[in-house]
Amino acid sequence: MNGLVRVAAAVPHLHLGNVEKNVQEHLHKLAEAREKQAALVVFPQLSLTGASCGDLFYQKPLLDSVQQGLMALVEGCPEGITAVVGAPLQGKGGLYNCAVVLSSDGVEGVVPQTFLPEKRHFRAAGEGYVTIAGQDWQLSRYTTFTSADGVTFGIEVGEDLFAPMAPSTTLALAGAEIMVNLSAMNEIVGRRAFRQQTVAQQSARCLCGYVYVNAGCGESTSDLVYSGHSLVASCGHVLKENGEFITENYLLTADIDLDAIRADRMRSAAFGDSAAMVNAPVSEELIWGKLLLEDAVQPDVQVSKQPFIPAEKEARTLRCQQIFSLQAQGLARRMAITGGKAVIGISGGLDSTLALLVAVEAVDLLGLPRTNILGVTMPCFGTTDWTYQSALELMTTLGITQREIPIHAAVRQHFKDIGHAESDHSVTYENAQARERTQVLMDVCNDFGGIVLGTGDLSEIALGWCTYNADHMSMYGVNCGVPKTLVRWVVKTVSEAPEFAGSKAVLERILSTPISPELLPPDEQGNIAQQTEDLVGPYALHDFFLYYAVRYGYNPAKVYALCRMAFKDDFDDATILKWLKNFYRRFFTQQFKRNCCPDGVKVGSVGLSPRGDWLMPSDAQSALWMKECEEL
């Protein structure tokens, strides 16, 4: 799977002031990183000597030993590794606290610390140079490094991250996709959380990966304690973090997804505009090594089966509450200017249930009676007693206005008018019922004096799983931003709210109901015979495809690889590939339905509104995507 860079935060056992032993510890960590197939390995600040050497930094024996140590690291560095180590280096202007980039090909660059907490021992970055093994290296506080396979990273040292004008901001805008920080920050109560928040926030602000490596507990404890706290973040999310509070001698690896970073940067107008404003001089260095993870290597990434749904209960509940609030506030605003009434078709299924709950919350927010909502149930050939009773009970317990309008006779008349046999259960049989229901809702709405609420969700919109000019059409689509897998959780969360306690029993009944359009007759036992996921595919897979194909623009091969990892215990490869092809085919061919979708509130990072979220011509061809699917 392409687009990944495996980074390593290396915190070796420290021998304070003993460079020779520290070099050996570094080589052990580099060998371990090679075994774990990491390509970019970052060590703590002043890792060759220790950060707490004090006035020993003035000693020529220590500085000479650093020079020898760097050459030893170059000689012993495993092939395929780019290492960033911390070293005190002497040069024009004094002594500098530096990050040295090296590989088996040699030293490839030097970056000094820009913002110093104190200036007793080191000078701030500025004009000048340092010398390594007789070669002068020009100093620049802004330097990017680009690998042979096009990965660009930048470097901060220690306190640089916490400055108001952190170098990482300029470096990211100059093209650095990964930032590394060699740090030696002592530990105090509460600082771990602060450090974590700062790293995550900076990775979000700069839309980059961030590798933060902190000095371990081998540092001097004369006045301070160092914890070895290291973490890897990307675009606001912490990917990996060492668990022990005080530690050293470990290697933390994580895979950073450059495709996700690049997708976010392409979409961010603010990032592009900010990059155009940067006028700071940035040096560019090319390095010999490659950083991208080879396709044959098993990725070290955590892939959720349900990317729209937080795994932790507390976070999931909060997400669902926030989504429900956004839906209700959006609808309340629309109803406030359209007369305060709404009409909605109630089927006894999840989507119409969520739409009705949102409508009830909206009129409650407006201080209007719930009778301003008219729920209409329209039984026909596929309606089962189970869903029919659920619809009636839901409307009754919520206290809305109700109407029952059977459409059997009207649909049969329509079949007669167009010459369609009722025994022919083709798409005409199904769509005639769907369009009759929409016609009823629209005309009843004219009589009632309100707006028709659509019930279709984001997943159905993506797949075009709706009848054109039927359930495809409404005056406001309250569920248009909620994917199918999340609809269930929102309803579940709302069912546990005190204000809906009277409807809890029927909501639990609806939550147990299979997903179905109920357009074909029930089986002999009266049960639902037509289940949507048997026809269009599992929504768990389609929502997964939707998230990665639309949110990040991943190519089909990468979506497939991620899906295989996430669902390895649920679906075989052939099943995943079958529905992946179906997803791309439907996503392209059904764009004409999305291009005339009604208004509806956006609630998450993936939206398909033709008014800004997803702009795509209806006649776009899927050949490139389908060809890649066929080659998988």
pLDDT, position 398: 97
CA distance 431 to 265: 42
The predicted structure's pLDDT at residue 141: 82
Q: At what angle do helices 573-589 and 623-630 cross, to 10 degrees?
A: 170
Residue 536 pLDDT greater than 90, yes or no: no
Tell me what the mean pLDDT of segment 106-113 comes to.
94
pTM of the model as a whole = 0.89
Q: How confident is the model at residue 125 (pLDDT cuts 50, 70, 90)?
A: confident
Given CA atoms 24, 26, 27, 29 in this order, what sign does their dihedral have?
A: positive
pLDDT, one tens digit per residue, over 394-435 is 999 999 999 999 999 999 999 999 999 999 999 999 999 999
Residue 278 has pLDDT above 90, yes or no: no
Q: Supply the pLDDT for residue 250.
A: 96
Which pLDDT does position 156 carry in this prediction? 96
Comparing CA positions, the residue from 184, 129, 187 lying closest to residue 157 is 184
Mean pLDDT for 139-143 is: 87
Q: Please enumerate, as own/partner, the contacts of 616-620 that have beta carbons within 8 Å and a separation of 24 or more.
A: 616/591, 617/591, 618/591, 618/592, 620/588, 620/591
**Which has more confidence, 528 or 554?**
554
pLDDT value for 520:
62
Residue 357 has pLDDT above 80, yes or no: yes
pLDDT bin (cut points 50, 70, 90) of residue 525 is low
CA–CA distance, 601 with 603 (Å, rounded to integer): 6
Average pLDDT, the chain: 93
Termini Cα distance of the chain: 12
- Which amino acid, 614? W
Mean pLDDT of the region 382-405: 95
Residue, of 134 and 435, whose pLDDT is higher: 435
Euclidean distance between CA atoms 487 and 471, whole angstroms: 17
Whole-number pLDDT of residue 140: 85
The domains located in the chain, with CATH, are: 4-286 (3.60.110.10), 313-630 (3.40.50.620)
Q: Which of 113-117, 542-546, 558-562 has the lowest mean pLDDT?
A: 113-117
- The yes-or-no verdict on residue 346 having pLDDT over 70 is yes
pLDDT of residue 295: 84
Judged by DSSP in three states, 90 sits in strand
Residue 382 has pLDDT above 90, yes or no: no
Q: Strands, E, within 400-551: which ranges?
A: 401-404, 451-454, 476-477
Where residue 526 falls among pLDDT bands split at 50, 70, 90? Answer: low
DSSP secondary structure letters along 11-63: EPPP-TT-HHHHHHHHHHHHHHHHHTT-SEEE--TTTTT-TT-GGGGG-HHHH
Who contacts 617 (Cβ-Cβ below 8 Å, separation ≥6)? 591
Lowest mean pLDDT among 74-78, 208-212, 256-260, 518-522: 518-522
The answer, yes or no, to whether residue 499 has pLDDT greater than 80, is yes
pLDDT at 423: 93
In which band, very low, low, confident or very high, does the pLDDT at 276 lie, cut at 50, 70 and 90? confident
Q: How many helices (H) and strands (E) does the chain have?
A: 20, 20
pLDDT of 534 above 90:
no
Identify whether the C-beta of residue 19 lies closer than 8 Å to the C-beta of residue 49: yes
- The pLDDT, as a whole number, for residue 527 is 61
- pLDDT tens track for 26-63: 999 999 999 999 999 999 999 999 999 999 999 999 99
Q: What is the DSSP string of 383-409?
A: --HHHHHHHHHHHHHHT-EEEE---HH
Token digits for 426?
A: 């083709």
Three-point CA angle 508, 510, 514, nearest 5°: 125
Instruction: Tell me which residue of 65, 67, 66, 51 sits closest to 16, measured CA to CA.
Output: 51
Q: What percent of the chain clears pLDDT 90, i.e. is strictly above it?
A: 83
pLDDT of residue 515: 72
**In this predicted structure, which of 123-132, 155-164, 515-524 has the lowest mean pLDDT?**
515-524
Single-letter residue type at 18: N
pLDDT of residue 129: 86
- Average the pLDDT over 245-268 and give the result: 95
pLDDT of residue 128: 78
Give the tokens for residue 552.
């990040």
Average pLDDT, integer, range 254-274: 94
For residue 529, name the pLDDT band (cuts at 50, 70, 90): low
Region 512-521: mean pLDDT is: 69
pLDDT(530) > 60:
no
Please tell me which residue, 279 or 63, carries the higher pLDDT value: 63
Instruction: Return the pLDDT at 522.
Output: 61
